[in-house]
Amino acid sequence: MITEELSVNLGQRSYPIVLGTGLASCISEKVEKITNSGRPFAVLTDEKAAAAQPEFFEACFSGLPVLKMRSGEQSKSIRQLAEVWNFLSDQRIDRSGGLFIFGGGVVGDLGGFAAASFLRGISFYQIPTTLLAMVDSSVGGKTGINLESGKNLVGAFHQPSAVFVDTGLLNTLPPREFPAGMAEVIKYGMLGDAELFDQLSTTVTVDAADPRLPGMIRRCCSLKADVVAADEREDADHGGRALLNLGHTFAHAIEATAGYGDYLHGEAVAIGLSLATQLSVHLGKGDCAEVSRVNDLLRRYGLPTTLKTPLPLADLMSAMGRDKKVRKGRLRFVIMEQIGNAVTADGVENGLVEVLWGHAGSI
Catalytic site residue 158?
A: no
Please answer whether residues 53 and 172 qualify as being in contact, where contact means their C-beta atoms are separated by less than 8 angstroms: yes
Catalytic position from the list 48, 245, 255, 267:
245
Instruction: Give the strand pairing for 41-46 and 15-21.
Output: unpaired
Instruction: Give the strand pairing for 123-128 and 98-103.
Output: parallel
Catalytic position from the list 48, 142, 187, 325:
142
Of residues 60, 337, 294, the one with CA closest to residue 198: 294
Catalytic site residue 293?
A: no
- The DSSP line for 129-159 is -SHHIIIIITSS-EEEEEETTEEEEEEEE--
Of residues 113, 106, 91, the one with CA closest to residue 42: 91
3-state SS, residue 338? strand
Q: Which residues contact 210 (CB under 8 A, 6 or more apart)?
A: none
118 burial class (0-12, 13-18, 19+ CB within 10 angstroms)? buried
Catalytic site residue 248?
A: yes
Q: Angle at Cα 197 formed by Cα 191 and Cα 202, nearest 5°?
A: 165
Catalytic position from the list 55, 120, 148, 328:
120
Q: pTM of the prediction?
A: 0.96
Cα dihedral angle (118, 243, 190, 358), rounded to 10 degrees?
100
**Would you state the pLDDT for residue 327?**
76
Catalytic site residue 359?
A: no
Catalytic position from the list 177, 232, 234, 290:
234
Catalytic site residue 265?
A: yes
Catalytic position from the list 73, 177, 184, 232:
184
Rounded Cα–Cα distance for residues 64 and 83 (Å): 18
Rounded Cα–Cα distance for residues 171 and 167 (Å): 8
Report residues of the chain scoring pLDDT below 50: none
Catalytic site residue 184?
A: yes
Catalytic site residue 224?
A: yes
In the DSSP assignment, the letter for residue 206 is P
Q: Using alpha carbons, list the distances in angstroms from residue 73 to 58, 104, 255.
A: 25, 10, 9
Catalytic position from the list 30, 218, 241, 332:
241
**Would you state the pLDDT for residue 3?**
81
Q: What is the pLDDT of residues 298-309, one digit of tens each?
A: 999 999 999 999
Catalytic position from the list 248, 285, 325, 332:
248
Catalytic site residue 328?
A: no
Tally of CA atoms within 13 A in the half-sphere of 54 that contains its CB: 1
Q: What is the pLDDT of residues 22-60, one digit of tens each?
A: 999 999 999 999 999 999 999 999 999 999 999 999 999
Catalytic site residue 238?
A: no
